[in-house]
Copies of this chain bind each other. A is one copy, B any other.
Amino acid sequence: MLRRILFLASLAIFLLVTGTVAWAAGDPTGAATLKADPGKAVDYVWILLCGFLVMFMQAGFACVESGFCRAKNVTNLMTKNLLDFVVGSLAFWAVGFGIIMGADWNGLIGSSKFFLAGDSYDVETYLSFFWQLVFAATAATIVSGAVAERMKFQAYLVYSAVICLLFYPVYAHWVWGSGWLSKLPYGLGHLDFAGSGVVHAVGGFVGLAGAIVLGPRYGKFGKDGKPRAIPGHSISLAALGTFILWFGWFGFNPGSTFSAHQLRISVIAVNTTLCASAASMTALLLVLGKTKKYDLGMALNGALAGLVAVTAPCAWIPSWAAVVIGIVAGFLVVGGVYLLDALKIDDPVGAVPVHGFNGVWGLLAVGIFADGTYGNYAAKAPFVQGLLYGGAGAGQFMAQLIGAVVVIAWAFGCGLILFKVLDAVIGIRVDPHEELQGLDVVEHGTPGYPEFYIPRI
């Protein structure tokens, strides 16, 4: 059966694409593109290297999620984090990219550039594809943290593909692909510089839906209903992953100028760092006040929360605002973790507070703190203004609020439908005894650390 799938897939690709190359009318060598604008050389260097950093975030997510979960599921988590990129990139190549960046259809969906065929054999289109791909894969990989340690691998493969084929691209088209959200009649339309909403809130709220449909892990809530901590198996892996993510975020945010000729990239890099630091510090101090312990897990998630929150506004705010946004992000991530516990929702790595709640906060922050010094993806007037900076701010805040509501509804709604359907059709949760044993042996046949003595199951 598998061979048949592979054979048919290859055949389909051949038939679909070989012919099309003949009528390619793009600029596959790049010579014409460079001639038209010699500045493209440095732009390509900037965009590609930033894109490589974003791709490297996959390693960061893999380490954070694995580190925060138990040793019996580490093979499973690593496989997921590899495979969502693998499946995602193929799905995104075939369909997803065309939905974001293809010719717009009524502000709702893109409708060309599938398989990068025909005209799309062009250095500009490939560059755009690479950039969009690494972002799409990030959205997909966020979900895996929220559904960790109890989901069937098969279901995982399916939803990864669906996110990269559909959920992510459609919403990204609305915001970044000239879709309807980008054209809201408020402020400059809904704005999301590097994807607090498009990437993180989408990932976070699909994850929330998944966590709810799956239900909590065995043992997460006691008979008294109280949450019990299930500590991760390797704090060093989780910490390393967070450093990698922070590093990769410097591609994510500054690279989203999609041009090296926006020297604003230095401001973006600084804001990214300060917001993460302020959020991490805040989260650490909040937990310290409560437990008298310096909680590394919360400090790590605090840093990530700050990175998520600053992702949308990073280009439009001054440094002090980054610090303030970070302080709020720190409160949000700590509060979010307690809230989910109170709601009996089990999100093993805190993906929902980090990416979901702070993604939304980032969108709103644009409408509050944007200071009118920088335009929409370029240093062009009109500049983006938030509530604190004059009359135009109210309109922008409205646009941000609408986008925030839409992203929650879209991601959570799509996620809920998807996981419910998957659950009905193939089942999404492993059997209880499999969960107890760990997914590594059951699904993958290979424990993560076969030589080490691990007394607890």
Give me the interface of A with B, judged by CB distance under 8 Å. 1-3, 5-6, 9-10, 13-14, 16-18, 21, 24, 27-31, 33-34, 38-42, 44-46, 48-49, 51-53, 55-56, 58-59, 62-63, 66, 70-71, 74-75, 78-79, 81-83, 85-87, 89-90, 93, 115-117, 121, 123-124, 126-127, 129-130, 133, 153, 231-237, 239-240, 242-244, 246-247, 250-251, 254, 260-267, 269-270, 273-274, 276-278, 280-282, 284-286, 288-289, 291, 293-297, 299-300, 303, 318-320, 323-324, 327, 371, 373-375, 379, 388, 440, 443-456
Contacts and interface: CB of A to CB of B under 8 A. Distances in A.
Contact of A445 (B9, B130, B293, B371): B293
Contacts of A13: 320, 323-324
A89 B42 contact: no
Nearest to A254: B48
5 contacts: A17-B320, A55-B247, A59-B240, A59-B247, A294-B443
A19 B239 CA distance: 38
Contact of A30 (B93, B266, B270): B266
B17 A295 contact: no
**The 7 A-B residue pairs with the shortest CB-CB distance in the complex, in nearest-first order:** A30-B263, A59-B243, A127-B266, A293-B445, A17-B320, A78-B239, A29-B379
Nearest to A231: B450
A81 B44 CA distance: 32
Contact of A93 (B29, B274, B297, B450): B274
A92 to B, nearest CB: 10
A319 B126 contact: yes
Contacts of A232: 450
